[in-house]
Amino acid sequence: MSIQIRKTLMQVETTLIEGGKAAATPLKLFSAIAVIKNPWAGQGFVADLKPEIHANAPILGELLTRMILDAVGSGEAVEAYGKAAVVGLDGEIEHASALIHTLRFGNHYRQAVGAKSYLAFCNTRGPGNAPIMIPLMDKNDEGRRSHYLTIQTAIPDAPAADEIVIALGASVGGRPHHRIGDRYQDLKDLGQDVANPAGV
């Protein structure tokens, strides 16, 4: 089945004041979203998801990446990035996961912005107007806490029960008044290996 895109949405959020204090540099958050027909809708339990992943994920990755780049202006300007999917109530969490947890989707974005970090992610199930949460992290430094951000939005009529919302997010800048340091300082303070950022 060819992909059925019902609509797309491009959102830009600019934070000028945070905590009552003006931001030296405004934080810009971008989200590119597509509402699609769930390619597995009405089929019951589908054991092999691969054919629809291969058919749909590259198209979505290319489309949403282009939307982000058009809005931001360049891949170089993107500092933090992430992805999310919300499947409608008739679908499985696996359906949401299938379309974003594949290199056929994420590599379009990763390569376009020159990233080294993995794409932060969220995959959930919900009705129309369900929260769409897109977690972000620095595209090159997973321990840079200033760029731990979350874009939260919603679409009043999506996802329908037989739809999936697919999203990419980006930031230009970090939290305006970040002051909690980074993971590497914590590791040093705890006497743990900086090369092992999970501390395990």
> Per residue of the chain (200 residues), what is the pLDDT tens digit?
589 999 999 999 999 999 999 999 999 999 999 999 999 999 999 999 999 999 999 999 999 999 999 999 999 999 999 999 999 999 999 999 999 999 999 999 999 999 999 999 999 999 999 999 999 999 999 889 999 999 999 999 999 999 999 999 999 999 999 999 888 887 888 888 777 666 56
pLDDT at res. 200: 62
Strand-pair category, 21-37 with 5-18: antiparallel
Nearest to 166 by CA among 123, 197, 126: 123
Residue identified by tokens 């939307």 is 67
Peptide bond into 159 cis (omega under 30): yes
- The torsion region of residue 173 among left (phi > 0), alpha (psi -120 to 50) and beta comes to left
Residues 6+ apart with CB under 8 A from 31: 9, 10, 11, 132, 134, 151, 153, 167, 168, 169, 170
Which residues on neighbouring strands pair with residue 14, listed in sequence order? Answer: 28
pLDDT at res. 116: 94
Residues 6+ apart with CB under 8 A from 50: none
Entry pTM: 0.93
Q: Is 101 helix (H, G, I), strand (E, B) or coil?
A: coil
CA–CA gap between residue 62 and residue 148 (Å, rounded): 25
Alpha helices in 74-182 (DSSP H): 93-100, 103-113
DSSP 34-69: EEEE-TTTTS-S-S--HHHHHHHHHHHHHHHHHHHH
Pick the CATH number of 5-190 from 3.30.1330.110, 3.20.20.70, 3.40.50.850, 2.40.110.10: 3.30.1330.110
Which residues on neighbouring strands pair with residue 83, listed in sequence order? Answer: 121, 168
Strand-pair category, 80-87 with 132-138: antiparallel
